Amino acid sequence: MVKKILSYSYIYLILLLMYVPIFVLIAFSFTNATYIGEWNGFSFDLYKALFKDQEIMVALGNTLILAFISSLVSTVLGTCGAIGAFYSKKRSRLALENVNQIPVVNSEIVMALSLTVMFVFMGSMIFHKNIFSFWTLLAGHIVISVPFVYLNVKPKLRQMDPSLYEAALDLGCAPRTALRKVLVPQIIPGIVSGFLLAFTLSLDDFIVTAFTRGPGLLSGDAAIETLSTLVQAKLKKGPIPMNMRPLTTIIFLVVLVATIIVTIVNSKNSKKVKTRKGRLN
């Protein structure tokens, strides 16, 4: 009984520490007070001012474009890598999985510095100019996202029925057709969750962004400004910008709704699979 109480108390304490700051931020997004803790009355003034703030809108646009493109590329690379490793020999599969673990367990500052050194070397020795731009920033985000997509897809490959893919090949399907129509539909939940995780990682990344960004996207000739770099720059000068409070509230609600939808869809798909297996048995 005591262990049960302690375990539940620990869980609720962790949840409290995680979500109370978010709910406080959401609450103070509905008042135009400069500092969190002051209450000037309920209003939507900050939400109205948010969409008129050109600086934040540019940073938001850069962040979303970068997150979408890097997540899309990372999902393709991570899924292909997971499928390739799954059908490889044991020694090759173990080697690929060990290499994939390095970016996951390694410190992000090490990855950022390594990428910076590589881009500086390439710029000075190969291109003979500064190559820091949107493309270096995109490469950095892909590097940190691909391993997590791989880790999301791999369990789904282990859970699927491998005989279906082999049966499709035996019945005359080309490998590409069998891959597209038989294998990929079985691992869609892992691919979707990998994409969402890669999108989230790109959305809030600061260290790799700060080290690898250059001019481009909506920032024009200036260094690309994302939400993370913008907040960091603002915090050097004073408190958290008021217009960031409604923006973080909107992002939190969008992510929450997306997570609920994905969970419901995955639950329905798993029930359909169980029903089909029950009928076959």
CA 183 to CA 186: how far, in whole Å?
Answer: 6
36: β partners: 38
Tell me which amino acid residue 104 is.
V
pLDDT tens track of the chain, all 281 residues? 777 788 888 888 888 888 888 888 888 888 888 777 788 888 888 888 888 888 889 999 999 999 999 999 999 999 998 888 888 888 888 888 888 888 888 888 998 999 999 999 999 988 888 899 999 999 999 999 999 999 999 888 888 777 777 777 777 777 778 777 888 888 888 898 899 899 989 988 899 999 999 998 888 888 899 988 888 888 877 777 788 888 888 888 888 888 888 788 777 766 666 665 555 55
Q: Residue 118: its pLDDT value, please?
A: 92
CB 61 within 8 A of CB 133: no
CA 116 to CA 109: how far, in whole Å?
Answer: 10
Residue for token pair 């509905």: 30
Model pLDDT for residues 218-264, shown as the tens digit of each residue: 888 888 999 888 888 888 777 777 888 888 888 888 888 888 887 88
Residues, the chain: 281
- The kind and range of the H/E element at 225 are none
Tally of CA atoms within 13 A in the half-sphere of 30 that contains its CB: 6
Q: Residue 134: its pLDDT value, please?
A: 92
CA 227 to CA 63: how far, in whole Å?
Answer: 6
CB 196 within 8 A of CB 258: yes
User: How is residue 146 written in tokens?
Assistant: 């691909």
Q: Residue 264: its pLDDT value, please?
A: 82
CA 98 to CA 4: how far, in whole Å?
Answer: 37
Q: Residue 143: its pLDDT value, please?
A: 92
CA 75 to CA 180: how far, in whole Å?
Answer: 15
